[in-house]
Structure 1
Amino acid sequence: MEKYFNIRYEFDKHAVFRAIDEALLMKKPGYICVSDGVILATVNRDPAYCQVVDGSMFSICDSGYVPLYLRWIYGIERKQYCGSEIFMDIIHQRRYRMAFLGTTQQTLDGLKRHLSEIDPRINDMWFYSLPYKAVDDFDYPAIAQMLEKDRAEIIWIALGAPKQEIFMSKLKPYLKSGVMIAVGAAFKFYSGTDVNRAPYWMVRVHLEFLHRIYCEPKKQLRRCWLIIESLPKLLVQEWNRKRRRKKLPGKVE
């Protein structure tokens, strides 16, 4: 793992899956954050939320811009691994028993139909539309009990950031096992009933945010402003961290 912008990233896909399998083998509950620009900005504005993200097993890099920042500041090459990609990677593995929590029943029904075509076992897995309420108001012991009864190994959460990360942190103490992964809009992308992900060419040239703005203008413009407002300070802070690291004993200037 590597820490940049106050987030512990795991950029190695193989290491991500090794960590998941180890946690399941040891029956050690945990959660993985899929850190996009909203999470990046919020971590550096809200100390309580920073602790939530830091309490995860690690974050994967959902932002297409963080690798660009790291190349500019540190001269290193890292790759994006977004929530929709880890979601479908695990679906196609056909290895785990899973539960799907969040979003609307319509979206979940579409998601179930679509994913069952990839892995017929998914038709018998748990899809649960979490009620719309404040994150402190969920009955976490009851949810954990249902997940234990279901024997879910991978627990997908789709509530949107930053709510979904707080939800995972509050549910974790009640779980006896299972790895939670918050995937935001992935449920919508693969439901066939809601917004689709941007075309690959837009993802490749870092313009996916324009597609998201087109699909959900009010929500995404607010999020974009949060990121833009925070970015100059974040880049300066990371550049200063680089300078401090170079001055540590044993480091070559």
Structure 2
Amino acid sequence: MNTYFNINYEFDRSQVHHAIAERLGQPGSDYVCVADGVIMNTANRLPEYLEVINGGLLSICDSGYVPLYIKWIHGKKFEQYCGSEIFLDIIASRKYRMIFLGTQQIILDGLQTELSKINPDVKDMTFYELPFCKVSEFDYPAIAKMIEDDGADIIWVALGAPKQEFFMSYLKPHLKHGVMIAVGAAFKFFSGIGVRRAPDWMVDHHLEFIYRIAKEPRKQLRRCFHIIRTLPVLLFKEWNSKNKQCHGALLL
């Protein structure tokens, strides 16, 4: 793993899947964070959230811009591995039993129908609508018992950030087995209902945020405002940290 902007990223896709498989072979549970620009920004403003993000198995980089920032500052080339991609990769692999935890049954029903076209095993898996409540109010022992009875290896969670990351950290001590992965909007993207992901050409040219703003202007503009407001400070701190590391290496 590599630490940039205070987040422990794993950029190597094969290592991500190896780490998940290896963790599933051990007792207990863990979680994977899908860290986009919003999560990076929020984690660097809220120490308790940063602790949650780095308290899991690893984070993948769900941002087309963070690799650009890293290249500008550190001269290293990495690629985005977004939540939609890891979601489809694991679904299509047909390696694991999975459970899907979300908030709207209509989305879950559509998701089950669409994913069954990719992986027929999905039609016999559990899609569970979580109650609408504060993250501290979930019945974590009961949810863990349901997952244990189901026998799921991969627990997909879609509650939106930062709620879903706190949810995984609170559920982790109650689970005896499994890797949770928070995929945010991926449930909507692949349900056939509501917002879909941006076209590939927009993703390739780092323009996905424009598409998301057009589809969900109030939500996405609020997020963009926080990113723009704090990004210069984050970039400066990362650049300064890199220079200090280089200076320390020269002294050695």
TM-score by length of 2: 0.98
Does the CA contact (< 8 Å) of 1:158 and 1:164 recur in 2? yes
Number of residue pairs matched by the alignment: 252
Aligned equivalents of 2:126, 2:223: Cα separation in 1:
31
Deviation of 1:121 after TM superposition, in Å, equals 1.1
Distance in 1, matches of 2:215 and 2:251, equals: 48
2:179 maps to which residue? 179
Counterpart secondary structure, 1:80: coil
The one-letter amino acid of 2:154's match is I
2: CA distance, partners of 1:20 / 1:249: 34
C-alpha separation between the residues in 1 aligned to 2:87 and 2:21? 15
Q: Distance in 1 between matches of 2:68 and 2:222?
A: 23
1:154-165 mapped onto 2 (5 Å cutoff): 154-165=154-165
What is the match of residue 23 of structure 1? 23
2:229 is aligned with what amino acid? E
Structure 1 CA distance for aligned equivalents of residues 41 and 86 of structure 2: 22
The answer as to 2:69 corresponding to 1:69 is: yes
Q: Would you say 1:193 and 2:189 are equivalent positions? A: no
In the alignment, what sits opposite 1:247?
247
Match of 2:204 in 1: 204
| 1:48-69 deviation per Cα after TM superposition (whole angstroms, max 9, x unaligned) | 1111111011100001000100
The secondary structure found in structure 2 opposite 1:211 is helix
Secondary structure of 1:221's match? helix
| SS, match of residue 172 in structure 2 | helix
Structure 1: runs of 5+ lacking an equivalent: none
Structure 2, unmatched stretches of 5+, are: none
Mean Cα displacement is larger for which, 201-210 or 242-251?
242-251
Between the aligned residues of both structures, percent identity stands at 60
Which SS does the other structure have where 1:146 is aligned?
Answer: helix
SS in 2 for 1:228: helix
Q: Alpha-carbon deviation of 1:135?
A: 0.5
Query: Matches of 1:163 and 1:43 in 2, distance apart?
Result: 12
Aligned mates of 2:93, 2:249 — CA distance in 1? 45
- Give the secondary structure class of the aligned counterpart of 2:156: strand
CA contact (8 A) 1:245 1:251 kept: no
Superposed displacement of residue 251, structure 1: 6.7
Distance in 1 separating the partners of 2:230 and 2:167: 24
Equivalent-residue separation in structure 2 for 1:202 and 1:118 (angstroms): 24
Matched, 1:45 2:45: yes
Amino acid at match of 2:63: S
Q: Distance in 2 between matches of 1:148 and 1:118?
A: 25
Alignment of 1:64-143 (within 5 A): 64-143=64-143
TM-score (norm 1): 0.98
